[in-house]
Amino acid sequence: MVTYDWSEAALAAAILALALVLVLELRSTQKLRRLVGQELARVFEQLDLLRFESQQLLEQRGAPPAAPPVLAPARPAPAAPAAAGEPADTAYLVAQRLAAAGMPASEISALAGVAVGEARVLAALQDARRRASDRDQESAA
């Protein structure tokens, strides 16, 4: 009489189940990567539209933005706002620096001469970077 070892069959079934789970996880990871790529493309498209809007606003004004408001001493001094003749990239760099200094979006918009929506995006990105940095420091400790 032939005996059958069920433990080997159970082990083979478990290995097959794990292989199936790994394949499904790989597919979901690839799908997630594709979706994230599409969303990032949308974000960058929106940033380009905001930058274009900001450029149009600067051209319509024809004059440099109003004088910056007096800032609290705890904040670093902002860079000079972009003049009407300067490219929008300069205003964008100034806005990035102001966001890195922790300024709110409304002040970034007023000081750097960029659209409020773009200033909000820059402030949110800087906040996300700061949170990621804090998490990295906590995990390293």
Residue 26, domain member (yes or no)? yes
Residue 128, domain member (yes or no)? yes
134 compared with 65, residue with greater pLDDT: 134
Output the pLDDT for position 65: 52
Residue 58, domain member (yes or no)? yes
Residue 1, domain member (yes or no)? no
Question: Which residue in 34, 23, 53, 56 sits closest to 118, CA to CA?
Answer: 53
86 compared with 22, residue with greater pLDDT: 22
Output the pLDDT for position 74: 42
Tell me how far CA of residue 27 lies from CA of 40, 72, 96, in angstroms: 20, 51, 37
**pLDDT, mean over the chain:** 79
Among residues of the chain, what percentage have pLDDT more than 90?
19
121 compared with 4, residue with greater pLDDT: 121
Rounded CA gap, 55 and 38, in Å?
Answer: 26
Structural domain count of the chain: 1
For residue 81, give its domain range: 6-67+76-140
Residue 115, domain member (yes or no)? yes
pLDDT digits (tens, 9 = 90+) for 46-102: 888 888 888 888 888 875 555 444 444 444 444 444 444 545 568 788 888 888 888
Residue 80, domain member (yes or no)? yes
Output the pLDDT for position 83: 47
Would you say residue 7 has pLDDT above 80? yes
